[in-house]
Structure 1
């Protein structure tokens, strides 16, 4: 669980990032979750965009991501979700 200070730091780090995944009409599927986990292992901090044609609400997607994966939802803003997971091999981000 992240503290509010850590979440604030991660939000500032994620500000300049572009979303690398888009959740569309098919919603959140198992292959997408696996790809997200692999991307988080490589990058530690990513953004995901929820498209308008997605049948699930952005908050539902964030809740499913929280439940399915072992990573933290840092922020849900607009149609964008920011995710963080500490890398086991390539640790880049040092939390305060």
Structure 2
């Protein structure tokens, strides 16, 4: 049994690279998979960065006067989705190096 833990739109960290691999599937021998994963990593890093750096809501605590900022998180296994792109880059480079 395998569990996937995500917050917000963090599941897109898997969906985006998989969708980017589809157009390059015809290249064969790992070349298409490698190129697709590298492209997916770039798209995922951009989308994750944009989504995780949105301004949050600021609330003021009446008792202490301190500010508390609430913002949405988009994570996969508690890792922000833009950092999952490092995994996709490593896998893409591995696939390109092993393409015949």
* Higher fraction of helix: 2
Structure showing greater radius of gyration is 2
Relative to the length of structure 1, the TM-score reads: 0.30
* Higher fraction of strand: 1
